[in-house]
Structure 1
Amino acid sequence: MVYKITKGIKISVKTNYNGADYRNNRLYHTFSYVISIENKSSDTVKLTDRFWKIYDSLNSTEIVSGEGVVGQTPVLKPNDTYVYSSGCFLESNVGAMKGFYTMINTDTYQQFKVIIPTFQLTTLALLN
């Protein structure tokens, strides 16, 4: 598990390799990840947007951005934790992801970025 704290918001990431699968007649390696967002600050914040860079050693870097996460824009009061899971498909068995969340302080309406630390996506065979 990797984690990073930005402005009192702790992002923790745990990954899992789920095996190979075919999509559109191409072999892909499937990965899932669980992200925990902990508000360790004294402010109430709302996650509004996400930005991801997905690196695949056999492919170009993919950029993914949009509103919220998994269809939600969670509000976290001090000491709240929000956990969600998602996944990605890579052509290679080696990759990585990193990015940031855009959040807003619900009292001051100030926007800020919270860093998602770089995490590795690697098949089990390479981990041994």
Structure 2
Amino acid sequence: MVTLITNGIKITVETAFEGTYFKNQVTQYAFSYHITIENHSKDQVQLLARHWDIYDALYPRESVDGEGVVGKKPILKSGETYTYSSGCLLYAPHGSMSGYFTMINFTTTKMFNVTVPAFYLNAEYALN
């Protein structure tokens, strides 16, 4: 588990290896990640977008941008928490992800980025 606080928003990430899949004679490794977003600021905020940098040990970095998370743009009042789960497929049993969420502060009407700390995706059986 990794945790980081940016501008009063705490991000916690937990990961799990979900299994190996074979598709078109290619092995892929499935990982899930569970993210908890906690609003420790005094203001109400909304998550608008996400940016991910995905590192696969066998391929160059891939960047992914999109609106919200898992089809939602959660609003968090001060003290509230939002948790969601998602996942990714890698071609190697090792990799990592990092990124940020773009949010808006409803009090100041300013947008800001919240860093998602780098987290590792590792198939346990492949670790030394």
Deviation (angstroms), 1:127 = 4.4
After TM superposition, the structure 1 = structure 2 runs for residues 1-128 of structure 1, keeping only pairs within 5 Å, are: 1-127=1-127
TM-score (norm 2): 0.96
Supply the distance in 2 between the matched residues of 1:75 and 1:101 (Cα, whole angstroms): 13
C-alpha RMSD of matched pairs (Å): 1.0
User: The residue matched to 1:125 in structure 2 has which SS?
Assistant: helix
What residue ranges of structure 1 are gaps of 5+ in the alignment?
none
Q: Deviations over 1:52-103 (max 9, x none)?
A: 0000010111111010000000000000000000000000011000000000
Q: Residue type matched to 1:53 in 2?
A: D
Deviation (angstroms), 1:15 = 0.1
Deviation (angstroms), 1:25 = 3.4
Q: Residue type matched to 1:95 in 2?
A: G
Over the matched positions of the two proteins, sequence identity in percent amounts to: 49
User: The residue matched to 2:72 in structure 1 has which SS?
Assistant: coil
Supply the distance in 2 between the matched residues of 1:107 and 1:62 (Cα, whole angstroms): 34
Q: Residue type matched to 2:46 in 1?
A: K
What residue ranges of structure 2 are gaps of 5+ in the alignment?
none
Q: Residue type matched to 2:53 in 1?
A: K
TM-score (norm 1): 0.96
Supply the distance in 2 between the matched residues of 1:23 and 1:101 (Cα, whole angstroms): 32
